[in-house]
Structure 1
Amino acid sequence: MLAAITVQAQYVYKGTVYNSKKLPLQQVKITIKSNSSTAYTNVLGMFEMVSKNTIDTIDVVLAGFEKQTLLITAQQPLIIILKNDGATVAINKPKLISFTKNAERNTRYNPYVSDETYFKLIENEFVKAQQFPHTSFSLNVNKASYSNVRRFINGNSMVPPDAVRIEELINYFNIGYQQPSKNEVFKVMHQVVDCPWNNQNKLLCLNISAQKINIDTLPPSNIVFLIDVSGSMDMPNRLPLLKEAFQLFVKNMRPVDKVSIVTYGGVVGTWLAPTFGSEQQYIIDAIEKLQAAGDTPGEAAIVAAYKLASDNFIPGGNNRVIIATDGDFNVGQTSEKALDALITKQRQTGIYLTCLGVGMGNLKDSKLQTLAKRGNGNYAYLDNLQEAEKVLVHEITETMYAVADDAFINIEFNADAVQQYKLIGFDNKREAIQDATSDVDGGEIGSGSSTFAIFEIIPNSNDSLLNMATLQLKYHDVKDATQQYKMVNYSITSKTQNEYFKDAQLAAAIALFGLKLKLSPFVKHISWQQVKAITQAAIDHQNYLQTAFLALVEQAVNIYEPKKKKKKNLF
């Protein structure tokens, strides 16, 4: 309702803003044209403004909706309905991770387990290069799936097939990183090796290394920790783990960096105002005092964190929200689609997002994946303190500093050399495949990261042809304010490059491990003992991460192919 009362020749206007479904909209910007004063709607969509005029004009603006300019009059009700912006509707369509025009896919999908939620993924199929030579896939540096898989196996449990994202398993190891040439953002490399699960086929392994920012020239950071302190976080592997993790992060802050803390649990509030890294102990003490209680108002918390980051925005700096949660939002917008729309609006601020998942039993992996993807960010799962140290200390530049946005690969296969091809991993959500208008959504690439992609190839009989395919990498350079796509063109041949051979073998072993966990029909003839043997031959036994991977495979062998106990002879 619009009310107006005269207070020292001023009129107070009150109104409510809804969307087309009559749901209240928060954070809508209202500007009075006569004095340029602004206000924002609250969680109920309500606002209050003051003007010296009995009649005035306002602008009503919210990203994702059509702007409205309205004439308002005192003592008249003001109810505003905002319509969705057509361009944003297109942005919010389901996005594909990989795409091959007109290629058929089966509709098999697997259920999620317990109260944990995972997107139902459809495995990529073999595609005939003669009919469909063009394919695309999104690049990303997410690694959450590996540590989540490790959590299940260390708990002596089978892994939900949809929890396995093979590209993330491979990303975890940052295989074969090589610094690009000066002034280049990416270096593209490839290797063709025999397929260890089908000796008739080949594997085309692509390795894309991103520019490594000099740590001495890192821009100042404006970081907002968005920490879930709801009741579900009151377990040792949740809030206590996050407190230790963020304290490790703070100990490596520079004086020019600043951090804020927004918490949500029952209510949303600013726990720590922006504080510079020179006051590390003060920040650590604030983190240590966090306690878990209440519901999980994730929607309002996200809006509050982005607003705090925006208020302290550093032009040319590293502006980022780090959300840490089990993803169990139960107040406000809680579905993946609703969160998708919410975070898409927030990403327009130029603020990046990192998602840190914790916990077990009610992990909402699908929600965190949605937030990271749509928030132009990345996603890691912390199953222990060592993983937290890996993500927030040792790999800090990969996690926190982007060198490219919206990065994706286009490949055109030469049908004379390749009969069929299959992209391993980069599997799509079922709903994205079902939407015929979906397109590939590029990813954020962190400094010094290595992204691996593998195609299983059925070669043509004429294997003397060296030209297998042409590749085009498209991306936005974060330093380029024009946001024009940059391109890297690269020719793929069947020629062996010995310097990349061992890297390709390791990537293939990890891919096979993932395919077995996903219960892929393409490797059902391969035993877990064979997976173990292939892994033993592929790893560097002097590398800690790789030997830990072998131990994980050995644990999986015991879970998926347990030794049968011999029956005792009673006579």
Structure 2
Amino acid sequence: MSDDMNEDPLAALTRTTLPPPSAQARQRAIEAGLATFAAQQQKAETTAKGLGWGARLRTIITSLKGISIMDLRLPIGTAAIVLLVLPLGYQLYNSTMLTPDETLPPRPVMANQPAAEIANNTAPSGQVVASPDKAVAAPEPETAGADAASVMTEDTMAATGLAAPSTSMQSMVQTGAQMRQEAVAMPAPAPLAKTGGAIAGSMTVPSGDTFTRFDEQRLKTVAEDPVSTFSIDVDSASYAYVRRMLEDGLLPAPDAVRVEEMINYFPFDYAPAHSAATPFEPSMAVYPTPWNPRTQLLQIGIKGYVPPAGEDKPSNLVFLIDTSGSMEADDKLPLLKRAFALLVDQLSDNDTVSIVAYAGSAGVVLEPTVATQRARILSALDNLSAGGSTAGAEGIELAYRLAEQAKVAGGTNRVILATDGDFNVGIDDPEDLEAYIKAKRDSGVTLSVLGFGRGNLDDATMQALAQNGNGNAAYISNFREAQKVLVEEMGGTLDMIAKDVKIQVEFNPAIVSEYRLIGYETRALNREDFNNDAVDAGDVGAGTTVTALYEITPAGSGRELVDPLRYGAQAGTEPAAVATMNAPGEIAFLKMRYKLPDRDVSQLIEAPVTPALVYGDIADVSDDMRFAAAVAAFGQKLRGSVYTTGIGWSAIEELARAGKGSDKNGYRAEFINLVRTASLLKPDSDSDPCDVAVSAEGCD
């Protein structure tokens, strides 16, 4: 054979002269590629709409992979397609991302954002965002658009030997530029500026959870407004939520901090009630205020009657469980199942359990079943899964029907709603939903609400439903909290011993010049509501403790914040003289009203606050009093109260340690750690006048 025949064919091809390029074939290949790309892109827009920029990028890449119409017989045509598509794909990729040297603009002001929030640069939920002086401006739109459009110009195309872009190509390039501008204009999360390892100032991260907005209780003068009236609050949801936020390294929104719920989370050793007919009796004390040596604290506490151990009151419970898609997270439905399993283990053959699940539609998961059939109940719980939208009101209606079907006389008939607070289908009018709950309450079926998870927790709705349902609201942040609420405090959660409990305190102007109720902002009542049995109020469960604190200023001390009235003594007999004549030496007078669970007429408890209840030094008070004061200071400081600027975190921690006591369950030790965490996330400001010690010395 000749050398030519033995030569490698591939080597021979390298010496072959390629045919001249065909302009017609090249143009056909370009137009076919563009047409296919445009068709694929249009088809993908439906699925890509509303997705993030990363998802859109994946859609574009998928479209590029789908381009297969090209003349493979012409190598030069293939090269033309590659030269065209690669720059375009690279440009479209860049148009959906920010380069390292670009920065995001500050959070835009929402159209319905209150003026006060705009001034403070806060989000509508009260969460603090980046301050204006730290925000950086976004690139000018003209510059961003020019960058995007400059990639595929006529000069660039000519330099590569390609034809000038068609109208459709120019449109795609302009679209890429527009996408780039939109990406730059998107609002960004507030940067977390840190100082010394802690988030600077009082910065918080928006959580998506919603809370009832309220203003802090203000100082009142006894001469003008001597009577304070409010409904008790036995809920503990605020403390559990605040604890979770702090443990996650985040500061809660101020409206999430309800000081009375922080205090009432902890049990206190108040005087026990002697009978179910009088289910509690008040305990009172007056002692120096840890954060203000110029004032004193009036502490009022009650402890609900505890039935004898052998008494087994029947219960008819309906678990109303949210199984919507938002409940899929580990701290929601999976935790909920384990929590309810704990409760089932506490029930007896005198109790029944039903289960209703709601998502896209409501359904009965378990008909009324004797609680001793634990395997059947737990199996029904275990089979629940999350998915679908939320139809909370529809589920509530079905749950009440089951509760009425299995109603027990003389026992507990209660619906226990477990949800992340997402109500968006069904009775969507909050007032109609509350009216429905209230009507069912009057028929003898009550409602408690357990909140789970974070991100879309509707605390405001949960609180409203629980209050109107004569039940309580709790937040289950972890398995230990489930054990506390559903095992240790099961009597307080399920067994109501008194309803519509109201407190009214009248201060003696001869002894007290000013006062301020700490917390209970969302439970305030009008003075005339106290004697009106038609006005709803809080309910007390078996063994539940409730605490209320007033900060009071002694009359004649010269330490009042409000100046006396110029003409106050010219309107006849002075109020102080009347008070001294009627009750000499009394500091205040306490009245409490309550109804027994099966009664509609209230009963009255009265007790004077006398000098015999006054302690001169906080070191002489009980551990419970010191600890209650520490929690009150903690809650107010966390909210940013104007009344607790005179105490630092270290003093609060010291006070809590002094009041720790036996701490059987470790809740107080946990609180002390929480104070330490809060001090890192929200350090004491340099403007605080002093870090008050427990004795409050040196801060006059």
Residues 505-564 of structure 1 show CA distances to partners (whole Å, capped at 9, x for unaligned) of 111110000001111111124332332233233322654111111011111111111999
Give the corresponding residue for 2:251: 158
> Is 1:457 the counterpart of 2:563 in the alignment?
no
Question: Contact 2:360/2:388 (CA < 8 Å) preserved in 1?
Answer: yes
Q: CA RMSD in A?
A: 2.6
> Is 1:248 the counterpart of 2:342 in the alignment?
yes
In structure 1, the residue corresponding to 2:266 is in which secondary structure? coil
Give the corresponding residue for 1:560: 682
Structure 2 vs 1, CA of residues 302 and 408 (structure 1 numbering), >3 Å: closer, same or farther? same
Q: Tell me the distance in 1 between the aligned counterparts of 2:351 and 2:300.
A: 36
Q: Residue type of the partner of 1:272? A: L
Give the corresponding residue for 2:209: 116
Q: Tell me the distance in 2 between the aligned counterparts of 1:345 and 1:326.
A: 24
Question: Contact 1:416/1:462 (CA < 8 Å) preserved in 2?
Answer: no
> Is 1:472 the counterpart of 2:565 in the alignment?
no
> Is 1:169 the counterpart of 2:262 in the alignment?
yes
Tell which deviates more after alignment, 318-327 or 439-448.
439-448
Q: Residue type of the partner of 1:540? A: G
Question: Contact 1:227/1:325 (CA < 8 Å) preserved in 2?
Answer: yes
The residue correspondences of 1:498-517 to structure 2 (distance < 5 A) are 501-517=622-638
Tell which deviates more after alignment, 178-187 or 458-467.
458-467
> Is 1:369 the counterpart of 2:463 in the alignment?
yes
In structure 2, the residue corresponding to 1:181 is in which secondary structure? coil
Q: Tell me the distance in 2 between the aligned counterparts of 1:312 and 1:174.
A: 33
> Is 1:445 the counterpart of 2:460 in the alignment?
no
Structure 2 vs 1, CA of residues 146 and 335 (structure 1 numbering), >3 Å: closer, same or farther? farther
Give the corresponding residue for 1:44: none
Question: Contact 2:390/2:424 (CA < 8 Å) preserved in 1?
Answer: yes
Tell which deviates more after alignment, 328-337 or 548-557.
328-337
The residue correspondences of 1:35-74 to structure 2 (distance < 5 A) are none
Question: Contact 1:296/1:331 (CA < 8 Å) preserved in 2?
Answer: yes
Give the corresponding residue for 1:488: 605
Q: Residue type of the partner of 2:679? A: V
Structure 2 vs 1, CA of residues 385 and 345 (structure 1 numbering), >3 Å: closer, same or farther? same
In structure 1, the residue corresponding to 2:466 is in which secondary structure? helix
What are the ranges of 5 or more consecutive residues in structure 2 without an aligned counterpart? Answer: 1-123, 128-205, 559-579, 687-700
Give the corresponding residue for 1:4: none
Question: Contact 1:123/1:428 (CA < 8 Å) preserved in 2?
Answer: no
Give the corresponding residue for 2:147: none
Residues 333-371 of structure 1 show CA distances to partners (whole Å, capped at 9, x for unaligned) of 345434323322322221111100000111111110011
> Is 1:305 the counterpart of 2:305 in the alignment?
no
> Is 1:258 the counterpart of 2:273 in the alignment?
no
Question: Contact 2:285/2:300 (CA < 8 Å) preserved in 1?
Answer: yes
Q: Tell me the distance in 2 between the aligned counterparts of 1:290 and 1:360.
A: 20
Q: Residue type of the partner of 1:169? A: M
Q: Tell me the distance in 1 between the aligned counterparts of 2:288 and 2:401.
A: 52
Question: Contact 1:137/1:440 (CA < 8 Å) preserved in 2?
Answer: no
Question: Contact 1:222/1:320 (CA < 8 Å) preserved in 2?
Answer: yes
Give the corresponding residue for 2:439: 345
Residues 150-176 of structure 1 show CA distances to partners (whole Å, capped at 9, x for unaligned) of 010011001110001111111111212
Question: Contact 1:353/1:375 (CA < 8 Å) preserved in 2?
Answer: yes
What are the ranges of 5 or more consecutive residues in structure 1 without an aligned counterpart? Answer: 1-108, 565-571
In structure 2, the residue corresponding to 1:534 is in which secondary structure? helix
Question: Contact 2:207/2:454 (CA < 8 Å) preserved in 1?
Answer: no
Q: Tell me the distance in 2 between the aligned counterparts of 1:313 and 1:234.
A: 32
Give the corresponding residue for 1:391: 485
Q: Tell me the distance in 2 between the aligned counterparts of 1:460 and 1:562.
A: 31
Q: Residue type of the partner of 2:266? A: F
Structure 2 vs 1, CA of residues 259 and 289 (structure 1 numbering), >3 Å: closer, same or farther? same
Q: 2:511 aligns with which of 402, 413, 417?
A: 417
Structure 2 vs 1, CA of residues 519 and 462 (structure 1 numbering), >3 Å: closer, same or farther? closer
Q: Tell me the distance in 2 between the aligned counterparts of 1:500 and 1:312.
A: 49
Question: Contact 2:302/2:547 (CA < 8 Å) preserved in 1?
Answer: yes
The residue correspondences of 1:268-279 to structure 2 (distance < 5 A) are 268-279=362-373
> Is 1:326 the counterpart of 2:448 in the alignment?
no
Q: Tell me the distance in 1 between the aligned counterparts of 2:229 and 2:399.
A: 34
> Is 1:545 the counterpart of 2:667 in the alignment?
yes
Q: Tell me the distance in 1 between the aligned counterparts of 2:248 and 2:388.
A: 28
Q: Tell me the distance in 2 between the aligned counterparts of 1:216 and 1:479.
A: 22
Larger radius of gyration: 2
In structure 1, the residue corresponding to 2:372 is in which secondary structure? helix
Give the corresponding residue for 2:657: 536
Give the corresponding residue for 2:96: none
Deviation of residue 184 (structure 1)?
2.3
TM-score with structure 2 length normalisation?
Answer: 0.62
Give the corresponding residue for 2:25: none
Q: Tell me the distance in 2 between the aligned counterparts of 1:419 and 1:561.
A: 33
Q: Tell me the distance in 2 between the aligned counterparts of 1:329 and 1:479.
A: 31
Give the corresponding residue for 1:63: none
Q: Tell me the distance in 1 between the aligned counterparts of 2:677 and 2:218.
A: 29
Q: Residue type of the partner of 1:444? A: D
Give the corresponding residue for 1:87: none
Give the length in aligned residue pairs: 451
Give the corresponding residue for 1:60: none
In structure 1, the residue corresponding to 2:286 is in which secondary structure? strand
Give the corresponding residue for 2:474: 380
Q: Tell me the distance in 1 between the aligned counterparts of 2:436 and 2:535.
A: 20
Q: Tell me the distance in 2 between the aligned counterparts of 1:441 and 1:523.
A: 32
Structure 2 vs 1, CA of residues 404 and 500 (structure 1 numbering), >3 Å: closer, same or farther? farther
Q: Tell me the distance in 2 between the aligned counterparts of 1:447 and 1:358.
A: 24
In structure 2, the residue corresponding to 1:205 is in which secondary structure? strand
Q: Tell me the distance in 2 between the aligned counterparts of 1:537 and 1:277.
A: 44
Q: 1:286 aligns with which of 374, 380, 402?
A: 380
Deviation of residue 124 (structure 1)?
0.9
More helix by share: 2
The residue correspondences of 1:227-246 to structure 2 (distance < 5 A) are 227-246=321-340
> Is 1:134 the counterpart of 2:227 in the alignment?
yes
Question: Contact 2:271/2:283 (CA < 8 Å) preserved in 1?
Answer: no
Q: Which has the higher contact order (CA 8 A, sep 6+)?
A: 1
Q: Tell me the distance in 2 between the aligned counterparts of 1:324 and 1:215.
A: 28
Give the corresponding residue for 1:526: 647
Deviation of residue 450 (structure 1)?
0.9
More strand by share: 1
Q: Residue type of the partner of 2:216? A: E
Structure 2 vs 1, CA of residues 174 and 237 (structure 1 numbering), >3 Å: closer, same or farther? same
Q: Residue type of the partner of 1:508? A: A
Deviation of residue 497 (structure 1)?
6.8
Question: Contact 1:213/1:447 (CA < 8 Å) preserved in 2?
Answer: yes
Q: 1:203 aligns with which of 297, 302, 325?
A: 297
Deviation of residue 429 (structure 1)?
8.0
In structure 1, the residue corresponding to 2:293 is in which secondary structure? coil
Question: Contact 2:242/2:256 (CA < 8 Å) preserved in 1?
Answer: yes
> Is 1:187 the counterpart of 2:281 in the alignment?
yes
Of all paired residues, the percent bearing the same amino acid is: 36
In structure 2, the residue corresponding to 1:200 is in which secondary structure? strand
Q: Tell me the distance in 1 between the aligned counterparts of 2:684 and 2:271.
A: 40
Q: Tell me the distance in 1 between the aligned counterparts of 2:348 and 2:514.
A: 51
